[in-house]
Amino acid sequence: MARAHIDMELRWGDQDRYGHVNNVAYARYLEEARVRVFGMGSAREATGMEGHFRDEDHGGSKMLVANQQIEFLGVLEYAKQPITVELWIGRLGGSSLEVHYEVVDGSAAERRVVARAVTTMVIVDGETLRPVRLSDEGRTAVEPWTDAPVRMRRG
Amino acid sequence: MARAHIDMELRWGDQDRYGHVNNVAYARYLEEARVRVFGMGSAREATGMEGHFRDEDHGGSKMLVANQQIEFLGVLEYAKQPITVELWIGRLGGSSLEVHYEVVDGSAAERRVVARAVTTMVIVDGETLRPVRLSDEGRTAVEPWTDAPVRMRRG
Amino acid sequence: MARAHIDMELRWGDQDRYGHVNNVAYARYLEEARVRVFGMGSAREATGMEGHFRDEDHGGSKMLVANQQIEFLGVLEYAKQPITVELWIGRLGGSSLEVHYEVVDGSAAERRVVARAVTTMVIVDGETLRPVRLSDEGRTAVEPWTDAPVRMRRG
Amino acid sequence: MARAHIDMELRWGDQDRYGHVNNVAYARYLEEARVRVFGMGSAREATGMEGHFRDEDHGGSKMLVANQQIEFLGVLEYAKQPITVELWIGRLGGSSLEVHYEVVDGSAAERRVVARAVTTMVIVDGETLRPVRLSDEGRTAVEPWTDAPVRMRRG
């Protein structure tokens, strides 16, 4: 029912020659949001979702991106205010989970969503890269952060 | 009925700490493929699609990414052989067009598709960023490069 | 006599396949530090150095990198703690200025310098790209942030 | 006495909001040139320098960047023609070597050097990251590619 909030600095270099934040940078923001939630446990909230799916330093398991869709709703300008990535679990499968997001412009006076996105993550064995089932602890951990799927115009 | 082919070098820096080409790099490859087709006219084929939708140096029009979906089918390793992005028009709207792609591993002996993708591009006025209708010349130019939509597992 | 301090988030994607922050990312950090000091005025201190040399949105002047040297003193690991870029003016020329830096690891208990760097910036006209003299206001603005040159082992 | 030549594609995304290839991209080009020479053996010439200093997949040794200096001589525009990185060994130490470069614009009619650079590489043990002595085979391999140091205006 709740969303994790990840505040994230923009970099001047995220802009392209059009003078806006480039679409490729958004994919980087989503990756960083996932790492902070599932790896570092450094979102604004103590979500308890870290450490269940990624164990990169011990070869235990990895989260691979199987599919990612991003809808761009408006132009984002480089600014000193951090953006906020709102992140939740939109669907839970046997060995996969869907991460849903809204990206909020930090420099706008009102809440302005500049992008919506969905990433399908597959949990795989660190060596074989074969899918492994989500553990019961992992399922329990993400349950409080599960909510209705984000709505996009397309797809 | 035909696809444009864009051969593209990988960079060692496209890899992440997992030792594979990172998902964010794929978004960069797709951008580069679009620029070469719609801006530079430097695909393997002389497609004639360049210069109709992008006019960045004269402020005439820009192509903005409205939506992008990428399906990752396999791990891509850094190699000296270029990948090939196959690109075609999957759908044509009033002021938008859908660019469809298959990304082919250049180091595999047989044709191995490592990703499929769709980008919805909106043609906008360079100043106001408002959508503008595709010109008749633009429509005529892309017609020979229009084909059935790419099939993804999801969406 | 004083240094500007710019706290900066790392990104997981700054790492390379060796699992450390890649040398190229350091160049990005230095750029971001300069933009925050000379463009945004968003360093930890109110330095007053912003707006004198960059006027990118009005075509007035640009700061171009003429030379950059970075000395890497230790491995930097991705962490949730921001690094701190310490920045000062090490030398002032007619139409150029040398920006000197120390990059400090944010996750170490004691002050650990992971890199030292010097960038020679040339102030150029936004249209012709020809060097222009630093204004008197610009000189006055940077004076309090001028200090002895950083010492590197080489060069 | 000879230089290795590495032809390298530009990417549209290497440009910044000024519309030129950004200085950070140059650091990426130099990295890629080193990988192709010392890792892949895919320069224009068969140099025989590959495999002596990098053994990343077997944990044997790594080449770390200890110092890098780049002098920017002119603006580089995105173009379809690849740039050429000319690379040679400018100095050889006990456990380090200096890689020297000139970066040549591929779209200019005459040879136009847009950057000169020097990277001091230290060969380290893959586990301990401690410097290890260059092997005799390594020394013999690089000898034919050793030449006078590149000359920069500064440093």
pLDDT-derived band at A57, boundaries 50, 70, 90: low
The DSSP 8-state label assigned to residue C39 in this structure reads: I
Question: Considering CB atoms only, which of C24, C75, C153 is closest to D27?
Answer: C24
- Interface size C-D, in CB pairs within 8 Å, comes to 66
Q: Does residue D153 carry a pLDDT above 90?
A: no
Q: What pLDDT, on the 0 to 100 scale, is given for residue B4? A: 98
Asked if D13 lies within 8 A of A19 by C-beta distance, the reply is no
Q: What pLDDT, on the 0 to 100 scale, is given for residue A56? A: 62
Q: What are the strands, taking DSSP E only, across B34-95?
A: 61-72, 83-92
Q: Does residue C154 carry a pLDDT above 70?
A: no
Token reading at B136: 């008749």
Whether A128 maps to a domain, the answer reads yes
Phi, psi of C139 (to 5 degrees): -60, -45
B39 touches chain D (CB under 8 A): yes
Whether A155 maps to a domain, the answer reads no
Whether A151 maps to a domain, the answer reads no
CATH code, D43: 3.10.129.10
Q: What pLDDT, on the 0 to 100 scale, is given for residue A119? A: 98
B16 touches chain C (CB under 8 A): yes
The DSSP 8-state label assigned to residue A39 in this structure reads: I
For residues B119-138, average pLDDT? 92
User: Rg (Cα) of chain D, in Å, rounded?
Assistant: 16
Q: What pLDDT, on the 0 to 100 scale, is given for residue A55? A: 65
D35 touches chain B (CB under 8 A): yes
For residues D75-88, average pLDDT? 97
Question: Considering CB atoms only, which of C12, C13, C31 is closest to A12?
Answer: C31
A13 touches chain C (CB under 8 A): yes
DSSP assignment of D9-71, as one string?
---GGGB-TTSSB-HHHHHHHHHHHHIIIIII--SSS--S-TTSS--GGGTSEEEEEEEEEEE
% of chain A residues with pLDDT over 90: 83
The overall pTM is greater than 0.90: yes
Asked if D154 lies within 8 A of C120 by C-beta distance, the reply is yes
Which residues of chain D make contact with A13, given a CB cutoff of 8 A? 16, 22, 24
Which residues of chain C make contact with D155, given a CB cutoff of 8 A? 67, 69, 155
Asked if B66 lies within 8 A of A56 by C-beta distance, the reply is no
- Overall number of domains in chain D: 1
Average per-residue pLDDT for chain D: 93
- State which amino acid sits at residue C40: M
Which helix (H) or strand (E) is C142 found in, with range? Answer: helix C136-142
Whether D153 maps to a domain, the answer reads no
Which helix (H) or strand (E) is B30 found in, with range? Answer: helix B23-34
- Interface size B-D, in CB pairs within 8 Å, comes to 27
Q: What pLDDT, on the 0 to 100 scale, is given for residue C76? A: 97
Q: What pLDDT, on the 0 to 100 scale, is given for residue D86? A: 98
Instruction: Tell me the β-bridge partners of C65.
Output: C121
Question: Considering CB atoms only, which of B27, B66, B72 is closest to A24?
Answer: B27
pLDDT-derived band at D28, boundaries 50, 70, 90: very high
**What does the alpha-carbon distance between residue C100 and residue C97 come to, in Å, rounded to a whole number?**
10
Whether C30 maps to a domain, the answer reads yes
Chain A: nearest CA to D90, how far in angstroms? 32
Token reading at A9: 């600095």
Chain D: touching chains (3 or more CB pairs < 8 Å): A, B, C
**What does the alpha-carbon distance between residue B112 and residue B49 come to, in Å, rounded to a whole number?**
27
C100 touches C89 (CB < 8 A): yes
What is the complex's ipTM, to 2 decimals?
0.95
Asked if A23 lies within 8 A of B31 by C-beta distance, the reply is yes
Q: What pLDDT, on the 0 to 100 scale, is given for residue C117? A: 98
**What does the alpha-carbon distance between residue A123 and residue A139 come to, in Å, rounded to a whole number?**
12
Q: What pLDDT, on the 0 to 100 scale, is given for residue C54? A: 74
**What does the alpha-carbon distance between residue C26 and residue D70 come to, in Å, rounded to a whole number?**
13
Lowest mean pLDDT among A111-125, C106-120, C121-135, D30-44: C121-135
Q: pLDDT for B138-150, tens place per residue?
A: 999 999 999 999 9
Whether A49 maps to a domain, the answer reads yes
Domain range enclosing D79? 4-145
- Which one, of B80, B62, B78, lies nearest residue B131 by Cα? B62
Whether D150 maps to a domain, the answer reads no
Which residues of chain A make contact with C9, given a CB cutoff of 8 A? 8-9
- Which one, of D76, A13, D149, D30, lies nearest residue C70 by Cα? D30
D146 touches chain A (CB under 8 A): no
Question: Considering CB atoms only, which of C12, C31, C40 is closest to A13?
Answer: C31
Whether A70 maps to a domain, the answer reads yes
For residues B88-108, average pLDDT? 96
A24 touches B23 (CB < 8 A): no
